[in-house]
A and B are shown apart, each in its own frame.
Chain A
Amino acid sequence: MLAVEVRDLAKTFRSGWFPRRLTRALRGGNLSIPRGVIFGLLGPNGAGKTTLLSILATLLLPDAGEAKVLGHDVVREARAIRPRLNMASGNSSFIWSLRAPEILAFYGRLYGLHGKALARKVDELVALCELEEHRKVPYQELSTGLKQRLALAKSLVNDPELLFLDEPTLGLDPDISVRMRAQIAGLRRERGTTILLTTHYMREAEELCDEIAFIKNGEIPARGTADALKRQIRIGDVIALRLDPASGDGLAELPGVLRCVFQDGRVECTVDSAEKRLAQILSWLHEQGVVVRDVDVHEPDLEEVFVELAK
């Protein structure tokens, strides 16, 4: 069974009385996510990531289309899925004057835990998110990193089968981001939780996600593994050559070479696949009697794919 199944989902926000502003946040996206994966949603600001997540988490009602979560319709069967999912977002906030264990206990109770089971759960989560030393600190005095970890801890109170994470590492320093990511990866490994996360950080998506979908202007133009996406965008690999004599005439006509530019005495050839073409180019140059002083192969990272897609 699929964890998430979205068909032609659309949502338009209306705001203001006059003039009435319409924001088409989602325009008929399609998406299916299998169970047990970490799935990344990447997209520029205002692309509709949070909107999509909120609809799936039953916080927002869609205008049109259909969305199924764990086999249940998010509109008609919202009650059936709420106990089985949870959500944490980078800008989560909790009641300021309560302490971490109290906040966790409150939400634990909302999910039907009580007595010993609740106490055990709270202790487990406090330990998991390294909040022990901060048990007595009111929420407002926690650092951003701890707040974020508390948000993650809260989203685990009901051992969700499906977890939505909206920019979980927003505003975290690199060290804490790394640990947060390790924790997210651990969730899937140890509990088999299906995770749908949104992020702006390509590194994060590349590192964590089994599969990635791009979302832009409320549409989902591309999805696949990080490698597949790079290939799909066809921004290609770059082979930079320092030649003697410094002329690469004829290189651009070779098979598989998309374009060639001369820059600072170097020839940069964009090819469909460096693996396949490198040997070919080198032997051709050898035949031409050109000496190759230096070769540098560069594969595009997801960042470039992102920039390309966001255009």
Chain B
Amino acid sequence: MYAFAKRNVLMAARNVFFVFELAFWPTVGVLSIGLMTRFLDLGPEMTAFLLVGTMALSTVQVCQLDVSYALLFDVWSKSVKHQFLAPVEIRHMALGSWLVGIGRGLTVFGLQALLSWWAFDFDFFEPGVLALGAFLLGCFLTSAVVGLLVCALVLLFGTRAEVSAWATVNLVMVFCGIYYPVSILPEPVSTLAGAFPLTYVLDAFRSHYGFAPEFSHPLLMGFILSALYIGLAHWALAAAVTRCRRTGLLLKLSE
């Protein structure tokens, strides 16, 4: 587990592109959304609503990428087989890289929180440490689910599926109500939105900024769903690994 964590850190330190992931895109995201709220002359509540969404999205994305990278690094360098030759389980791989993802996610979040406090007078600590902690944990759990699913997709469909590492967050954006409350989604999409744990986590955090919660016990729901999906995603990944061993894709990804 520590091995995967260490490797993700090393890779992050070695790659200039990661600076973009960690600093550039999140900054651009917060600034553009923040400026949009100014242009539209939105009140502080609306600003809070949108900024919370933006920051959740960036945090989920960065943390999720780390989990995906645990496999993608190997796919890109064609060294997948060495990892599956070793006596490690996918949970070690996922957990190790997820921990680094949390670290990077917190960095991104901190940066964005500072920016939005400085530029748009938005106070992230207003709901209290506990609520903030729950919100972040919710984001990271969603990242774990997405990351595991990306890994599973890559193992099922090969390198063609690696775009999913960047595409799946867009799905999250649409369904979890990053920029709008899910209640404005038409049926049956809004029901579907209820299946995403991040929807609840956002709902819970936004209720601290004066938005009436759309769900009862949103945090509880969010965590229960996250746990369920992490279980399912882990199972899916394990099944994908077995399938890979059967079809020989594991070898193809290594040559």
Contact = CB atoms under 8 A, between A and B. Distances in A.
A114 B5 CA distance: 14
A111 B82 CA distance: 11
A291 B168 CA distance: 88
B155 to A, nearest CB: 13
A107 interface: yes
B7 A93 contact: no
A60 B3 contact: no
Select the residue from A13, A50, A83, A106 with max chain B CB neighbours within 10 A: A106
A60 B85 contact: no
Given A54-B251, A95-B73, A97-B14, A111 B87 contact: yes
For chain A, give the interface size range.
20 to 34
Contacts of B160: none
Contacts of B245: 58-61
B154 to A, nearest CB: 16
Contacts of A51: 248
B130 interface: no
B251 A60 contact: yes
Interface in A237-253: none
A284 interface: no
Nearest to A25: B248
B248 A13 contact: yes
Contacts of B82: 92, 94, 107, 154
B254 A93 contact: yes
A97 to B, nearest CB: 5
B157 interface: no
B87 A60 contact: no
B88 interface: yes
B87 A82 contact: yes
A230 B84 CA distance: 39
Interface of B is mostly: helix
A115 B139 CA distance: 33
Given A54-B251, A60-B245, A94-B82, A109 B6 contact: yes
A14 B247 contact: yes
Contacts of A91: 255
B86 A93 contact: no
Contacts of A96: 77
A33 interface: no
Interface in B226-255: 242, 245-248, 250-251, 254-255
A111 B251 contact: no
B21 interface: no
A246 B195 CA distance: 94
Contacts of A106: 3, 6-7
A102 B88 CA distance: 18
24 contacts: A14-B247, A54-B81, A54-B248, A58-B85, A60-B245, A60-B246, A61-B246, A82-B85, A82-B87, A83-B87, A87-B81, A87-B85, A91-B255, A95-B7, A95-B74, A97-B11, A98-B7, A102-B10, A105-B6, A106-B3, A109-B3, A110-B83, A111-B86, A112-B87
Interface of B: 2-3, 6-7, 10-11, 14-15, 73-74, 77-79, 81-88, 242, 245-248, 250-251, 254-255
Given A58-B85, A95-B7, 18 more contacts: A13-B248, A14-B247, A50-B251, A59-B245, A60-B251, A83-B87, A87-B81, A87-B85, A93-B79, A95-B11, A95-B73, A96-B77, A102-B7, A102-B10, A110-B83, A110-B87, A111-B87, A139-B77
